[in-house]
Copies of this chain bind each other. A is one copy, B any other.
Amino acid sequence: MAVILITGGARSGKSKRAEMRTRAFPGRPVYLATAEALDAEMEARIAMHRARRGTDWIEREVPLDLLPALLATDGGGARLVDCLTLWLSNLMHGGRDWEREIKELAGALPRLKSPVVLVTNEVGLGIVPDNALARSFRDAAGIMNQVIAEVADEVEFIVAGLPMKLK
């Protein structure tokens, strides 16, 4: 069914928009969190998102195995994946073959039965980063966004909480 990609900058209102799009589908919504509460900053952000979202969501922490989680929850309510950029970062830190995993995700998304709303970040619109690792990451994130956008049914770019329709 529907695959929706929501992209934008930090604190642009992407998650809020994605929650709204996910809730619009019938059934109990499923929240697939790629974030792990590894430090206080992250913990606070997770708590804030949860407070806004409400408690009626099915929640899963999926730092790495996103596609298995999508397959395991398929057939129920719509899934919100928040967010792909962090998933990519987790894959890279974990030494996983991220290029292959992105391709597998892109290949599987159009065949899922329940809707999927994916949040991602635009990270390539600043000055070229000094360090090579940050450059590799922004390259990888840009490629991932292109690959997922290509298979998505809808793509929205969020600025100041407001969506622009890309697809």
Contact = CB atoms under 8 A, between A and B. Distances in A.
A154 to B, nearest CB: 11
B122 A123 contact: no
Given A138-B127, A155-B162, A9 B122 contact: yes
A42 to B, nearest CB: 11
Interface in A72-90: none
Interface stretch (A30-38, A91-99, A102-110, A140-148): A140-148
Interface of A: 5, 7-13, 41, 120, 122-129, 132, 134-135, 137-139, 141-143, 145-146, 148-150, 155, 157, 159-162, 164, 166-167
Contact of A7 (B134, B157, B160): B160
A91 B129 CA distance: 20
B160 A11 contact: no
Nearest to A132: B41
A167 B162 CA distance: 7
A138 B8 CA distance: 13
A11 B138 contact: yes
A41 B142 CA distance: 17
A61 B5 CA distance: 37
Would you list the 10 A-B pairs with minimal beta carbon distance, nearest first? A126-B126, A11-B142, A9-B124, A10-B124, A125-B125, A149-B160, A146-B161, A9-B125, A145-B160, A162-B166
A1 to B, nearest CB: 21
Nearest to A165: B164
A127 B122 contact: no
